[in-house]
Structure 1
Amino acid sequence: MSLLRRWFDPLRSSWFYQKPIRQEALSTAQGLRIYLRLDDVYSYLAVQQLIQLNEILSEEIKPLKIIISDTAAEAPNGMTADEWRDYSLRDAQILAYQHRFGFDNEKPELPSAEALAQAEKILRNTPLKDQNFLYLLEDVFHMLWQQQYGKLRTLYVMASQHQKEQQVEERQFEHTPVLASYFEIGGRKYHAVDDLLRLTRRLKQQKLLTGNPIFLINHIEWREHLMNDAEELSEIQEMNPELDLYVALEDPISWLLLAYIKEELADYYDIDLKIYPLSYKGRDLFDWSLATRLSKRTGVQFTPFCRPTEPATLNIAKLFYSVPEEQRTDVMYRILESVWAKGKDLSFRAHVHKIQRELHIEQLTEDDIEKKLKDNDLSCEMKSQPDFPVIELRLDGKSYVFNSLYRVWMIESIFSNVLEQKYKSDNDLEHKHAESSEDE
C-alpha cells in the first residue's frame, strides 16, 4: 500500500461509514425467480412461503417464475456431499423449529430417487398455473419430505396416464447447479430462507408488493434482545455460557459479527467469549454492499479499504498471541477495529508498531504463529460448517455449533429454549411431587 493511501485511508474510512447508502432500483425486466431442487431441504422450507408471497406481488413482477433444477452445486468450504447433506438436514430442523415450518423433526431424510422422479413427472405434466400450481408444488414437496410415497405414487399414475408434459413459461426445468434454494431479481441473488426478509424489504421499498409481508415470525432483529426479564437473564448468566468464535481475519463479516457479539451479547448475557483466529483463507472477494448494510444494521463500523493481506493476518495473530489469554478477546477487537474502522494497514511495519505500543505489548511472542493458526484451522474443520465465522456455544452441559451472520440469532434462541425446557422440567417435577404427596 502506498504512503499516500496509508495517510488518506483513515480519513476516507470515516467518510465512507458516515455517508448515506443509496440503493439502485433492481430491474424487474426478468421478474422474480426462485430456484429449487426437489432434493434440497431448503427448497422444501422455501415453497411453504411461496403462496403467501405470490399473493402480495405486484403485477409488474408477476407471475413468480419457478425454476426446478436436477443438479446440485458443489458443497462449500471443502465439505463433502455427505457432510453438506447432514449439515443441511440439521440446520433445516433448527430453522423449521424456530420459524414454525412444516418438517419431519423425528427422522428427516432425503427423498428416494424413485420418489424424486415421480415428483418431477407430476410437476412437468400438470396443467395447473399460477397460484394453483404453487399449491400443488407445496403438496408435492410435503409428500417427498414427509415420505408420503403412497399419495405421491397416486398422483404420479394420474399424471402419467392422463396428462402430457406442459410447456408453461412461468415454470422451467433446468440443469443449473443449485446448492440451496434462492431467489433472483435484477441480477441479484437472495437465499430463499435466510434472505427472505431482506428480499421483501427491498421489494416493498420499490413498491413491488401490494401488502405487508409477514414471514419468519420468530426472527430476531439486530440490537433487539429476545430476553429482557431480569430473572431470566440472571438464570442464563448463572449457567456460565461459553462461546468460541473461529474467525477469518481478512473476512469483514467475521469482524462485524465479532464486534456485534462482543458489544451486544457477551456482556448482556455474561458470555465467556474466546477468539480463535484462522490462517489466511483468501476471503478477499466479498459482497461490499452486504457488509455495508450489515454494518448499518448492527451499528458496527466497517470500511473496505485496508482489508488484511496474508502478511497482515500473520501480524494480527502475532499481536493477539503476545498478550495473556484473558486479554486476547479485547485485544483482537481493538486490532480489527483499527483495520476495519480506522483504515490501518497491518502489513506496514509502522502501523504494527503503533498498535503494539497502544496495546502496551513490550515484546512480541516468539511462538510459532503459523502452527497455532493451523491448529485452529484443524479444530474449525472438525466442526464441519459451510461458512465463517464458525460459532460454538456451550451451555448447561451441551454444545451447539453454527456459523455465519445468518445464524447469530441462534445464540439468544438457544438461551430461550434452554430456559423453556428447564421451566418445563421443574413444573413436571413439582407436579410429580404433588401427586406423590396426595397418594401418601
Structure 2
Amino acid sequence: MSFLRRWLDPIHSKWFYKKPTRQDVLPIDQGLTIHLRLDDVYSYLIVQQLAKLNEILVDELKPLKIVISKHVAVPPNNMTAEEWQNYTLNDAKNLAKQHGFGYDDQPELPSQSALEQAEIILKNTPLRDEKFLYLLEDVFHMLWQQQYGKLRILYVMASTQHKAQQFPERTFNQDAILASYFEFGGKKYNAFDDLLRLTRRLKQQKLLTDNPIFLINHIEWREHLINDAEELADIQAMQPELDLYIALEDPISWLLLSYIKEELAEYYNIQLRIYPLSYHGRDQFDWPLAVRLSKRTKVAFTPFCRPTEHATSEMAKLFYSVDDDAKVDTMYHILEAAWVHGKDLSYKPHVEAVRKELSIDRHTEQDVQARLKQNDIECLAKHQPNFPVLVLRVQGRVYTFDSLYRVWMIESILSQVLEKYYQSS
C-alpha cells in the first residue's frame, strides 16, 4: 500500500461511513424468480411463504417465476455431503421453531422415488399462479413429512390424466444449487436469510401492494428478547459462555464481535472467548452489503485497508501478546483499528501505533502460526459452513451455529434455556 493511501485512507474511512447510502433502483423486466430444489430443506421452508408473497406483488412482477433444479452444489467450507445434510436439517429445525414454520421434529430427506413422483406432479399439473403455489407447498409437505400415500395418489392422477405442461413461469432444469434463493434485478437473495432484505427492497421500489409480514418472531438488532429484570438476573447467574472463531480478514468478524461485545455480552453476562483463525482469503466480500449491515447493527465499518495475510499475522501476534482477561478488549481494538480507522496492519508504523495504544511492551514468544492452525482444526471440527463460528455453552448444554445471520440464536437459546429452567423448578 502506498504512503499516500496510508495517510488518506483513515480520513476517507470517516467520510465513507458518515455519507448517506443510496441504493440503485433494480430493473424489474426479468421479474422475481425463486430457485428451489425438492430435496433442499430451505426450499421446504420458503415455499410456505410464497403464496403470501405472491399475493402482495404488483402485477408487473407477476407471475412469480419458479425454477426447480435437480442437483445439489458442492457444500461450502470443505464440508462433506453428509455434514452439509446434517447441518441443514438441524439449522432448518431451529429456523422453523423460531418462526413457526411447519417442520418435522425428526426430519429426514425424502426418498428418491418420492422426489421423482413430486417432480412429475409439478411438471404435469395445469394449475397456475396462486393455485400452483398452494400445490407446490402441499407437495413439499408431503415430501418432508413422509406423507407418501397422499403423494402417490397425486402422482397417479398427474401421470395418467395430464401431460407435461409448458409454462414460461415454471422451469425444471439440471442445474446444481446449494440452497434456495431469489433472483431479482440481477441480484441473488438467499431465500430464507435474505427474505426480509428482499421484501424491504421490493417495498422501497413500491413493488408490493401491502406491508410484508414475514418471519414474525425475527429478533431485530439492538432489541432484546429478555427484558424482565428477574428473568435477566437468572440468565446472568447462569454465566453463559460464548466462543467465537473468527477470520481476522473477514469484515463480518468485526461487525459480529462489536455487536456481541457492546450489546449482548454485558447484558446477559456472557463470558466471551475469541479464537482467531489463519488467513482464509475472506477479504473478497460484498462491500455494499457489509455497509448496509453495519448501518442495521449500528456498528461503524469502512472497507479500506482490508487486512492482507501478512496483516492478519501481525494482528494475531498482538492478540496473543496480552493476558487472557484482556484478549476480548484487545481484539476489539485491533479490528476497530483496521475496519473503522483504516489502519494498515501490514505497515510497521501502524502496527507499532496500535501496540502502544494497547500498552504491549513486547510481542509474544509463542508460535502464533501454530496457535492459529490449532484454532483452525478446532473450528473445522464444528462442521459449520460459514464464518464466524459461534459455540454457546449454558446450563450444561452446547449449541453451535455460524455467521451473522444466526446471531439471533444467542438470545433465542437463552430464552429457551430459561423456560426449561423454570419448568424444571
TM-score norm. by structure 1 comes to: 0.96
Give the match for residue 16 of structure 2: 16
| Deviation (angstroms), 1:296 | 0.5
Q: Output the CA distance in 2 between the equivalents of 1:312 and 1:367.
A: 18
**Residue aligned with 1:176, SS:** strand
Give the match for residue 25 of structure 1: 25
Give the match for residue 37 of structure 1: 37
Amino acid at match of 1:178: I
Amino acid at match of 1:70: K
Q: Output the CA distance in 2 between the equivalents of 1:113 and 1:39.
A: 9
Give the match for residue 349 of structure 1: 348
Give the match for residue 281 of structure 2: 282
**Residue aligned with 2:82, SS:** helix
Amino acid at match of 1:93: K
| Deviation (angstroms), 1:425 | 2.2
Amino acid at match of 1:128: L
Give the match for residue 59 of structure 2: 59
Q: Output the CA distance in 2 between the equivalents of 1:215 and 1:420.
A: 25
| Deviation (angstroms), 1:423 | 1.8
Gap regions ≥5 residues in structure 1: 427-440
Give the match for residue 7 of structure 1: 7
Give the match for residue 327 of structure 2: 328
| Deviation (angstroms), 1:178 | 1.1
Note the 1:229-378 alignment, pairs <5 A. Answer: 229-378=228-377
Please provide the CA RMSD for this pair: 0.6
| Deviation (angstroms), 1:167 | 0.1
Note the 1:77-92 alignment, pairs <5 A. Answer: 77-92=77-92
| Deviation (angstroms), 1:316 | 0.2
Amino acid at match of 1:139: D
Q: Output the CA distance in 2 between the equivalents of 1:129 and 1:256.
A: 43
Amino acid at match of 2:313: L
Give the match for residue 194 of structure 1: 193
| Deviation (angstroms), 1:38 | 0.1
Amino acid at match of 2:420: Q
Amino acid at match of 1:18: K
Q: Output the CA distance in 2 between the equivalents of 1:229 and 1:267.
A: 16
Q: Percent identity, aligned pairs only? A: 68
Q: Per-residue CA shift, 1:127-150, capped at 9, x if unaligned?
A: 000000001000000000000001
Q: Output the CA distance in 2 between the equivalents of 1:412 and 1:56.
A: 31
Amino acid at match of 2:127: L
| Moved >3 Å (runs of 4+) | none
Amino acid at match of 1:363: R
Give the match for residue 433 of structure 1: none
Q: Output the CA distance in 2 between the equivalents of 1:199 and 1:251.
A: 24
| Deviation (angstroms), 1:215 | 0.5
Q: Output the CA distance in 1 between the equivalents of 2:325 and 2:137.
A: 51
| Deviation (angstroms), 1:380 | 0.3
TM-score norm. by structure 2 comes to: 0.99
| Deviation (angstroms), 1:402 | 0.3
Amino acid at match of 2:27: S
| Deviation (angstroms), 1:176 | 2.1
| Deviation (angstroms), 1:301 | 0.8
| Deviation (angstroms), 1:359 | 0.7
| Deviation (angstroms), 1:375 | 0.3
Give the match for residue 430 of structure 1: none
Q: Output the CA distance in 1 between the equivalents of 2:268 and 2:422.
A: 19
Q: Output the CA distance in 2 between the equivalents of 1:351 and 1:289.
A: 26
Amino acid at match of 1:391: L
| Deviation (angstroms), 1:187 | 0.8
